[in-house]
Amino acid sequence: EYIHMYVYMYLYTIVHIYGCLYLYKYLYIYTCKMFGSGIIQTFNASSFHVRTNCPFTLTHFTHDQVDYDITTLRGDDGLLSQMEIIVNKIRTVVQIGGILVEKKRFGCKIILSLGLYTEPSLFVSLPYDHTYQHIFQYGTYTRLRSLLFPLSVTWHTLPAGIDTVMVELEQGFSTEMTGLCGQPNVSSNLFISVSQYSHFSTFFFFFQLCNKFFSHTMDCLQDRNPHFLRLCEENMYSYESSNYVRCSFFSEVVQQCRHNSYIWIIWRTLTGCAAPTCPGDLVYEEQGAAFVPSCSNFNPSHSRQNLIRSCVCPEGSVLNDQTDGFHCVNISKCPCKFAGRSYVSGDKRSTNCQTCVCQAGGWHCSENSCPPRCLLEGQFVTTFDGKQYAVPGKCAYVASQGLNWTIMVRFSEKYSSLHTAVLQLPQVLDHALVFWQSSMFVQVQTSFGMKIQVQMSPEIQLYITLPRNNPYNVSGLCGNSNNDTTDDFTTSTGIVENSPQPFALSWSVGTCAANIPPICSSTDSEIFADEMCSVLRDQTGIFAKCHDHIPADQFYTTCVGRTCNCGSHLQQCLCVALGSYAKACAILGVAVGDWRKATNCSKFSLVTRQLIQVNLSTTNKHRSKQTLRELLVQCTYEKDDLNS
């Protein structure tokens, strides 16, 4: 008496190709399901019906000191009214009307109860990303995927409640698990009997519809047919008038029989369960793509596991996700999006550096006339090719190096900011000119065309600009400047890493003083940073005129990270982070106005010049007047706001 369970096992397939043997490993997924008015299908495929309106635990376990808990509450109509998912103390509640995520820093606490929550500020929109989890649309379902452990929870929401929940574990482990889903790799006879969970009538009624339906399932269910018939009766008892309860059960049975059974063809006609209605131009498919091709992603991830009940566009078209509504268009008609604004095909946008034209949902841009520039702003780095990341430790690093030059930076041991920047050249007197460019910036200009702009106050920040026609092979934290971000994380040994941490540490010199916290350690600082940095995304604020040119989201994230971990100088770090966005806008020719006054940052621009010491260690002891004269002639200012 077992329901067929969707399981992808760790199977090994040996393939013989040209005399070689290849071993392929397949993923084993343990699945627990709950559907209808209370049918439970455990991780080990046993099944039973639970009739209760009390909260009960589907599964609970602890892995690597992280707690996972899934609890459900069923309403009087047979459907789930609420589901609570806890991942590492972050509480997510799914209910009629939306998804709520507990926001501990604002003091809001969500507790599973018979009432529904109506506070708008708690609801989240999809897709939703959090440090520990990702929530997104998955066909006609919604899925929460843990980022700490291979766990996913998938559910189907109806106007009256939740009719289906699926919990998947992508690996087996020995951790003790409790709840109705049982435990993988444990014999089903260890499970607590159903009577200990709930009490329901032992009278089983013959329902004509159940008998009629299961008379067509012998080919796929075989000797399990009687068990399914009993579950059908238990599922419908006292919910005979509920289409939702009835159709949820039949739908799950059909999904387990799949399309190789005759029931797949006739079940909707037989049961009176109509196909779901899709919004806009979308059409329903029993086995469609979980991720619908769209103007922003023509080819989303496809695999057999991603075939699910879904609403998709008619063949030959994709979803126009750049505008409101659910409209399907030919790819050639796809609009483009930039900095939150939509552009129709053929539209242009221009900056000081290049012109871009929207074509078939993508931007086709002229060659970038601005030389590549690397930014080192606190622990945040933007490579020459535009990739952004954060260094993990307070170390000394090789920021960038070429054939005959090296730029070193050293972090402060106390703060997450730069303390020292060093340019090493073979002949300093003949190859570099150092001067105050403004009251806040020092510029270093080399004879071979490289420029280094150093913000001296309130924090040291470094802006490295390579020559326009860069003939040098460069490397370091700033990447290799080859117009390809995929290999920016090339280590000092030539290995391309996926993660910034091992890449950055490969360019460290000596020992690191301490790690830089990846997340905020102070709730008060986090609240301050979140509130004050939001000025970057304010559609009517001082920075709004730049939004069409540079998306503010990444700068907002960087601002929160820098400000939150700043210690006692929160306002100063905030102003430095806001200044980074203002500077990026100015480079493209967009002046945002007096942002310092608007954000109470004016006091941090009133600085005095600091002493710059340059150690001249060179093999040529004779100053060349001709070379110095050439440097003065070549000297040009950067096209940005100098914050004088």
DSSP strand pairing (151-158 vs 20-25): unpaired
Q: 392, exposed or middle or buried, with CB in 10 Å at 0-12, 13-18, 19+?
A: buried
The amino acid occupying position 627 is T
- Structure tokens given for 352: 């000081």
DSSP-based three-state secondary structure for 98: strand
- Per-domain boundaries in the chain: 1-188, 201-273, 283-333, 336-365, 373-516, 523-605
Q: How far apart, in whole angstroms, are the C-alpha atoms of residue 276 and residue 482?
A: 50
What ranges in 550-611 are assigned the alpha helix state H? 553-564, 570-587, 595-598
- Residue whose pair of structure tokens reads 């991780």 in the numeric block: 43
**Which mean pLDDT values do the consecutive 10-residue runs of the chain (644 residues) have?**
35 38 54 95 90 92 89 95 92 90 51 50 80 90 91 95 93 76 67 38 56 90 87 89 93 86 92 93 93 88 70 94 88 84 86 86 85 87 89 88 88 76 68 79 85 84 83 85 87 90 91 71 80 90 88 87 79 89 86 88 58 40 47 50 47
Q: How far apart, in whole angstroms, are the C-alpha atoms of residue 469 and residue 456?
A: 28
If residue 285 lies in a helix (H) or strand (E), which one and from where to where? strand 283-289
Could you tell me if 166 and 251 are in contact, meaning their C-beta atoms sit under 8 angstroms apart? no
Give residue 471's pLDDT.
Answer: 58
Closest CA to 395 of 496, 456, 477, 466: 477
**Where are the strands (E) in 355-468, listed by range?**
355-359, 362-365, 373-377, 380-382, 388-390, 396-401, 406-411, 418-424, 432-436, 441-446, 451-455, 461-465
Give residue 554's pLDDT.
Answer: 85
What ranges in 62-155 are assigned the alpha helix state H? none
504: number of CA atoms within 13 Å, CB side? 23
pTM: 0.62
Torsion of CA 312, 318, 321, 327, to 10 degrees: -70
Give residue 12's pLDDT.
Answer: 38
CA angle centred on 584, ends 455 and 343, rounded to 5°: 175
Q: How far apart, in whole angstroms, are the C-alpha atoms of residue 554 and residue 442?
A: 27
DSSP-based three-state secondary structure for 115: coil
pLDDT tens-digit series, residues 525-547: 888 888 899 999 998 899 998 88
Closest CA to 5 of 29, 36, 27: 29
Could you tell me if 100 and 92 are in contact, meaning their C-beta atoms sit under 8 angstroms apart? yes
Could you tell me if 358 and 343 are in contact, meaning their C-beta atoms sit under 8 angstroms apart? yes
The amino acid occupying position 91 is R
CA angle centred on 314, ends 308 and 319, rounded to 5°: 80
Q: 357, exposed or middle or buried, with CB in 10 Å at 0-12, 13-18, 19+?
A: middle
Task: Give the Cβ contact number of residue 109 at 10 Å.
Answer: 9
Running DSSP on this structure, what letter comes out for residue 341?
A: E
**Where are the strands (E) in 180-220, listed by range?**
none
Torsion of CA 354, 341, 144, 148, to 10 degrees: 40
- Structure tokens given for 283: 């059409």
Q: 74, exposed or middle or buried, with CB in 10 Å at 0-12, 13-18, 19+?
A: buried
Give residue 284's pLDDT.
Answer: 96
Could you tell me if 579 and 542 are in contact, meaning their C-beta atoms sit under 8 angstroms apart? no
Q: How far apart, in whole angstroms, are the C-alpha atoms of residue 644 and residue 597?
A: 14
- Residue whose pair of structure tokens reads 């609420």 in the numeric block: 82
Mean residue pLDDT of the chain comes to 79
Closest CA to 558 of 529, 587, 538, 531: 529
- Structure tokens given for 406: 């090296």
pLDDT tens-digit series, residues 21-60: 333 344 578 899 999 999 999 998 889 999 888 999 999 9
Query: What are residue 257's phi and psi, to 5 degrees?
Result: -75, -30
